[in-house]
Structure 1
């Protein structure tokens, strides 16, 4: 029943989405091929779940989820590589909502998670409607189809997998990965971790799927011991002593210089975290109230800051998330792309400068925060409703300035009516 119901989505609104994507053409059509690959990969995963027991080994489960994870990352990478595309809002709408396929890792209530991802994409679907509703109705139908896909996916999950992914419990637990879908879509880049806790206390307000555990997210992470800190182990300051995976250059938006060795060190009152790539196990512990955490050129990483500290600076980072308990002063984002933060306690000020893409998850205690932004775009504040859900509000990017009779300037926000 579950497998058949998911297939109905593919043959209904999803088929319409593909049809309109091909009609629009260009980057939208190419992007839709990656999306098609992701949904068919999940269909195959559901078929396996409907025929077997849940793997007892976490590694076996992650091997089964890896193709879906790969597909999601490929979709988001395509958006990042085509930021100058005339259809960038289309690409962003899909990229922001496609993590909805990660519902298979969420428990005990995955349906609200799908809704959150649907809501996350609507900031960009509104932009598509504003730009194209008077020019080409095909784009309006494209938006309707995309939203309908996620709406029906939420209903599907709520009906067939109310408390989490249902395994048949019959047959041997699978150990291999999901067979690859038919050729046609480009090969995906390295996988994104979509693992999530199955504990009843899951907090789906977290930044990435691996943050679904809320404040418990640090329970499985490795503590940074003194021998891993350069101020207590001078030998680590020698670049040759540090093993770096991969080679080459980072994204052009972050300079063309070669990769440098990753760094995690406490230097007096300053915690320095630099050149981390794909590292989601960075934890700052035992920090003092006058300490500062400084992140520089980190990519696809997550930093957990425990306790009360003075401030955090995120400089030239990409796809990086920061989770903190309590800030005395401020958190600053400078020259970043696609960054996110979540605070569980208090943060007085948030500063965003020359940053494209910033998601801010606030706590009830931080609703009096001051947010200062300049030369930035795609900024959203997510305010807790009190029931585990969030209300997403975009930070204005456009302003209108007029000259008063006394020859002073008067500036007001131009609201997005789309």
Structure 2
């Protein structure tokens, strides 16, 4: 039986379990074999996380010294899934197992701060290499496997949206709750997936909770909101008096329409991760199969040595930093960095640059794909072995690709930023409206 809980972020997780995850699970059961076996293990891992979230809703955040103990059950479940894949290398469904094994560490988002949602996305994207193999093998043979890939991708897409909405800067704990370890031990050992509500039924609203007018928690302003609502008719006592200069009928300037748009020569200063610089604790560590390089400032000589092709590199919130990756890795992600560079030998899957400013990417060997999104200023240095690289861009400016010549020099080619779209019957035709190269 599932432990009943009316906390919004637990109810939303129940929706994830009974919706996207159930669709994936049912599809896995249809395929059967090792796919069904690992799906049952993944189901157990998700249910374990559900119990963990219930515990968090009743507990204060544990001390840093206690946190590893609290997270231990989650880590064990993840390792069980990874170990199953390693034991099934001769399985005809090895690509299916590998896709799950690459993604499942994403459930350790509960230990990630301050940006767990990008972490979930990165873990979900780690499966692309193997899901593409599944699609290539079964696209023309059996559509159920194509649906399976779509369903698994959708689980992580919905998980990312869930984390982004309810745990934006890290797992939500209860500032008035009890001890995390005590509550974790008291949690049910086996809670099942909640069934979906009957068709046409409306779930009852959660019981009203009266909040005491105590000090507002740092991470939650709802106490102040309920306190003001409980004032009744006195709620208007704190409103500001509208003076004559605020009234449109006494101040003609307020009736003026918006000013014409004037294009600025340079983008205005915006508060964004890429521009604020490192503010968290510096990190350079290999966790499972992921290298995490975070909050590094003015480090021109960071080196990832002896990297393997089943590993990926995630570079987050670094500034004035250069990272060298020695060896062949699955993927490289540069996220929310400023004036930083990454140089690597070979990639199995892709490189990604997102939310960055004035960054550089250089490949010495082979890079199948690079994606640039929401970035201002990006230089991509290709090697002779990467002239077939596919470049995907969105919402980005000042992008250049540098192509090597025989004499070792580079030719700089700008990536178009402006496009022209015309109506062609009931469809649209889009072309570049500027010369590139």
TM-score band (shorter)?
0.5 to 0.7
What TM-score, normalized to structure 2?
0.50
- Corresponding residue to 1:40 among 24, 40, 47: 47
8 A contact 1:37–1:181 mirrored in 2: no
Between the aligned partners of 1:382 and 1:214, the Cα distance in structure 2 is 23
Question: Higher Cα Rg: structure 1 or 2?
Answer: 2
Task: Report the secondary structure of 2:60's partner residue.
Answer: coil
The offset of 1:71, in angstroms, is 1.8
Check if 1:166 corresponds to 2:172.
Answer: yes
RMSD over aligned CA atoms reads 4.7
Alignment of 1:275-290 (within 5 A): none
Aligned to 2:9: 2
Aligned to 1:29: 36
Q: Unaligned regions of 5+ residues in structure 2, if any?
A: 1-7, 192-218, 220-270, 377-384, 390-437
Aligned to 1:62: 68
Output one character per residue of 1:10-50: Cα deviation in whole Å (capped at 9) or x when no partner: 22222222222122122212211221121011100111112
- Going from structure 1 to structure 2, the CA distance change for 1:385 and 1:77 (only over 3 Å counts) comes to farther
Alignment of 1:227-242 (within 5 A): none
The offset of 1:91, in angstroms, is 2.0
Q: Pick which of 71-80 and 24-33 moved more.
A: 71-80
Check if 1:386 corresponds to 2:375.
Answer: yes
- Going from structure 1 to structure 2, the CA distance change for 1:333 and 1:174 (only over 3 Å counts) comes to same
Between the aligned partners of 1:51 and 1:313, the Cα distance in structure 2 is 43
- Going from structure 1 to structure 2, the CA distance change for 1:215 and 1:83 (only over 3 Å counts) comes to farther
Number of equivalent positions = 281
Between the aligned partners of 1:122 and 1:169, the Cα distance in structure 2 is 38
- Going from structure 1 to structure 2, the CA distance change for 1:75 and 1:175 (only over 3 Å counts) comes to same
- Corresponding residue to 1:93 among 99, 115, 118: 99
Check if 1:102 corresponds to 2:91.
Answer: no
The offset of 1:112, in angstroms, is 4.1
Between the aligned partners of 2:24 and 2:84, the Cα distance in structure 1 is 18
Aligned to 2:181: 175
Q: Unaligned regions of 5+ residues in structure 1, if any?
A: 184-197, 205-212, 222-278, 282-297, 388-394, 400-418
Check if 1:326 corresponds to 2:315.
Answer: no
- Corresponding residue to 2:345 among 332, 343, 351: 351
Check if 1:78 corresponds to 2:72.
Answer: no
- Corresponding residue to 2:363 among 346, 367, 370: 370
Output one character per residue of 1:357-387: Cα deviation in whole Å (capped at 9) or x when no partner: 67756676664513314xxxx9775656439
Between the aligned partners of 1:75 and 1:380, the Cα distance in structure 2 is 29
Between the aligned partners of 1:105 and 1:310, the Cα distance in structure 2 is 25
Aligned to 2:27: 20
Output one character per residue of 1:158-192: Cα deviation in whole Å (capped at 9) or x when no partner: 44334432223333222255658549xxxxxxxxx
Between the aligned partners of 1:80 and 1:338, the Cα distance in structure 2 is 17
Between the aligned partners of 1:311 and 1:371, the Cα distance in structure 2 is 15
Q: Pick which of 305-314 and 38-47 moved more.
A: 305-314
Between the aligned partners of 1:311 and 1:113, the Cα distance in structure 2 is 21
Aligned to 1:314: 306
Aligned to 1:147: 153
Alignment of 1:242-321 (within 5 A): 307-309=299-301, 314=306, 319=311
Task: Report the secondary structure of 1:49's partner residue.
Answer: helix
8 A contact 2:129–2:349 mirrored in 1: no
What TM-score, normalized to structure 1?
0.52
Task: Report the secondary structure of 1:314's partner residue.
Answer: strand
- Corresponding residue to 2:137 among 131, 144, 147: 131
The offset of 1:136, in angstroms, is 1.5
8 A contact 1:99–1:117 mirrored in 2: yes
Task: Report the secondary structure of 1:372's partner residue.
Answer: coil
8 A contact 2:126–2:331 mirrored in 1: no
Task: Report the secondary structure of 2:364's partner residue.
Answer: strand
Between the aligned partners of 1:136 and 1:72, the Cα distance in structure 2 is 29
8 A contact 1:107–1:164 mirrored in 2: yes
8 A contact 1:314–1:333 mirrored in 2: yes
The offset of 1:65, in angstroms, is 1.7
The offset of 1:125, in angstroms, is 3.0
The offset of 1:60, in angstroms, is 2.3
The offset of 1:135, in angstroms, is 1.5
- Going from structure 1 to structure 2, the CA distance change for 1:109 and 1:79 (only over 3 Å counts) comes to same
Between the aligned partners of 1:171 and 1:310, the Cα distance in structure 2 is 41
